Amino acid sequence: MKFMNIKSSIQKNDILEALKRNEFFTLYQPKVYSESGKLASIEALIRWKRNNSIIYPLEFIPMCEENGLVYDIDMYMIRQVITQINELKKNNKKIIPISVNIYKGTLMEENFIDTIDELFGNMNINNYVEFEITERGILTEDIDKIAEVFKKLKERNFRIAVDDYGTGSSNLLFLAKTNVDIIKLDKSIISNIHENTKAQYIIEALITLSKKLDTDLVVEGVENIKEFKFLKDIGCKIIQGYYFSKPVNISDIKLSYDIF
């Protein structure tokens, strides 16, 4: 199966038709405890199967944001996560916490919380769901509104993660004003981490900060044993990246991974 780069040719109607035809699907990537190799949670990631090719989010999400369709994509993914958790419950399997990405525009929709209440109802699965919002693109003037939405989600027992931390322009202010449960460190910061002393100091400082804030720190984009060993040795407890697994079908997720 081919992986396509068709960003310039995707139109609004293509997305609408893809939603109607169920051309989108979900893969999952594990987040693993560095000390034990046990599964901490998994992240739900959207893919688009079009004409026997797989299209990645970077190729269609920007167009969705420009044309007001990102809300539809986010709601699709939330429904997928709900379905997956209920499947695990129905089959008496271990329920794995699942994180799902939510874009700023969706989070700031006036009816977002009402829609969440309607979707989750009385299923008692809220504590298994983590909402990830990327820090990239969040403006200072957005933070108070986002903090209020986070508060309402946490009142409903959802967990909140700030994704791609370190890529935005208001990251410290964002942490100061929002009550997040998880900080996900952007993979660009750990590139060649074992050779970059300044980056090492930054990560060590963020580990200390996350402890003070009583949040989990997840380092994503870990691709090799050198990166993994360094991060483990300095106290990074949760790791995500190709070193453990690429995004896979739910049936291929393991409860424990080889950490050596």
Render pLDDT for 50-100 as a digit per residue (tens, 0 to 9): 988 999 999 999 889 888 899 999 999 999 999 999 999 988 888 999 999
Q: How confident is the model at residue 193 (pLDDT cuts 50, 70, 90)?
A: confident
Candidate ranges 41-55, 127-141, 170-184, 194-208; pick with highest mean pLDDT: 41-55
Nearest one of 29, 6, 56, 18 to 223, comparing CA atoms: 29
pLDDT above 90 (res 220): yes
Domain extent listing, the chain: 2-252
Q: Which residue has the tokens 């109802």?
A: 121
Give residue-wise pLDDT tens across range 21-64: 999 999 999 999 999 999 999 999 999 999 889 999 999 998 89
22, with CB counted inside 10 A (0-12, 13-18, 19+), is exposed
User: SS3 breakdown of the chain: % helix, strand, coil, rounded to 5?
Assistant: 45, 25, 35
- pLDDT for 168 equals 61
pTM of the shown model: 0.91
Q: Which CATH number fits domain 2-252: 3.90.280.10, 3.40.50.300, 3.60.15.10, 3.20.20.450?
A: 3.20.20.450
Structure tokens that stand for 186 in this block? 């952007």
How many beta carbons lie within 10 A of that of residue 32, not counting itself?
28
Please name the residues in contact with 51: beta carbons below 8 A apart, sequence gap of 6 or more. none
Alpha-helical regions (H) of 67-214: 70-90, 104-107, 112-120, 143-155, 171-177, 197-212
